[in-house]
């Protein structure tokens, strides 16, 4: 999944990027202008937005961003502790609010909770046939034994799971696993190879009929 961090405190922004890039593709913006430009050119799953930006109030950025990227989940990051600011941000469409200083583990936990809520998943562990997926631990297991998926393979599987029962095109999957791809760089074989590898690793243990190929479109997980 893709994350945009809009934060003018460079050390904090870089720290967040280093932490989150273990699980997400991250872009950085240090001003509102940079952030809005990136939102025009990319689709994001999460936008982490500081309110105290040097060139524009974060509340105004949030209001504009919701129009340009309505599909993204927004978490406000701010040193402002006023209840009025929190209410205003949530009313404008933010999904959550974190007051500085905050724990990066708490940030990650809230992102996971938002993703589960929007996908309709009740918790971080999901049964797929005879397999169990732990989104928090980033692992899939069979009878308690972890199966060795690569980072990209698990990213692909978890992204399909968060959009369960919905067919995703190869292009959609590629953009969210490898970042923004130009038409010249795009090769649907990237996704097909990873899906083949996932199936090969899983079917050693049990059938994975829930991972379906949608002819002419792409793939989906059926629950």
Cα 206 to Cα 168: distance, rounded to the nearest angstrom = 24
pLDDT > 70 fraction of the chain, expressed in percent and rounded:
93
The 8-class DSSP code of residue 56 comes to: S
| Segment 105-158, tens digit of pLDDT | 999 989 988 988 887 777 788 999 999 999 888 899 999 999 999 988 998 999
Q: What is the average per-residue pLDDT within 45-66?
A: 90
Mark whether 48 and 132 lie in a shared domain. no
* Domain count within the chain: 2
Q: Which of 98, 119, 140 is the last residue of a domain?
A: 119
Provide long-range contacts, Cβ within 8 A and 24+ apart, for 12-18.
Answer: 12/100, 15/104, 16/48, 16/104, 16/107
pLDDT at 182 over 50: no
Residue 101: asked if its preceding bond is cis (omega within 30°), the reply is yes
Mark whether 100 and 186 lie in a shared domain. no
| Segment 86-111, tens digit of pLDDT | 777 778 888 998 888 899 999 998 99
Mark whether 208 and 173 lie in a shared domain. yes
Mark whether 20 and 108 lie in a shared domain. yes
Mark whether 134 and 114 lie in a shared domain. no
pLDDT at 84 over 80: no
Mark whether 198 and 132 lie in a shared domain. yes
pLDDT > 90 fraction of the chain, expressed in percent and rounded:
50
| Segment 205-222, tens digit of pLDDT | 999 999 999 998 999 999
Mark whether 129 and 114 lie in a shared domain. no
CATH value at residue 81: 3.40.50.2300
pLDDT tier at 7 (50, 70, 90 boundaries)? Answer: very high
Mark whether 12 and 113 lie in a shared domain. yes
Q: What is residue 160's predicted lDDT score, i.e. its pLDDT?
A: 92
Mark whether 83 and 62 lie in a shared domain. yes
Mark whether 25 and 130 lie in a shared domain. no
Q: Which of 119, 144, 175 is the last residue of a domain?
A: 119
Q: Which of 104, 119, 134 is the last residue of a domain?
A: 119
pLDDT at 187 over 70: no
pLDDT at 186 over 60: no
Mark whether 80 and 159 lie in a shared domain. no
Range of the domain at 175: 125-221
pLDDT at 48 over 80: yes
pLDDT at 177 over 80: no
**CA neighbor of 114 nearest in space, from 130, 92, 132, 96:** 96
Mark whether 7 and 114 lie in a shared domain. yes
CATH value at residue 196: 1.10.10.10
Q: What is residue 136's predicted lDDT score, i.e. its pLDDT?
A: 82
* Neighbour-count burial of 44, counting CB atoms closer than 10 A to its CB (0-12 exposed, 13-18 middle, 19+ buried): buried
């Amino acid at each position: 999944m893709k994350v945009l961090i809009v934060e003018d405190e460079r050390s904090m922004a870089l720290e967040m990027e280093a932490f989150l890039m273990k699980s997400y593709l991250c872009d950085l913006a240090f001003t509102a202008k940079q952030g809005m430009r990136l939102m025009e050119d990319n689709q994001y799953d999460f936008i982490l937005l500081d309110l105290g930006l040097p060139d524009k109030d974060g509340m105004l950025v949030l209001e504009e961003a919701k129009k340009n990227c309505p599909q993204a989940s927004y978490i406000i990051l701010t040193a402002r502790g006023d209840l009025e600011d929190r209410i205003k941000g949530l009313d404008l469409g933010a999904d959550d609010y974190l007051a500085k200083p905050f724990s990066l583990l708490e940030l990650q936990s809230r992102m996971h909770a938002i993703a589960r809520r929007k996908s309709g998943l009740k918790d971080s562990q999901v049964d797929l046939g005879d397999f169990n997926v732990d989104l928090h631990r980033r692992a899939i297991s069979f009878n308690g034994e972890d199966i060795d998926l690569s980072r990209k393979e698990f990213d692909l599987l978890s992204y399909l799971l968060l959009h369960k029962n919905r067919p995703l095109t190869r292009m959609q999957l590629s953009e969210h696993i490898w970042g923004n791809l130009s038409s010249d760089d795009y090769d649907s074989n990237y996704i097909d190879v990873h899906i083949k590898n996932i199936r090969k690793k899983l079917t050693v243990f049990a059938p994975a009929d829930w991972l379906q190929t949608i002819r002419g479109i792409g793939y989906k997980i059926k629950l």
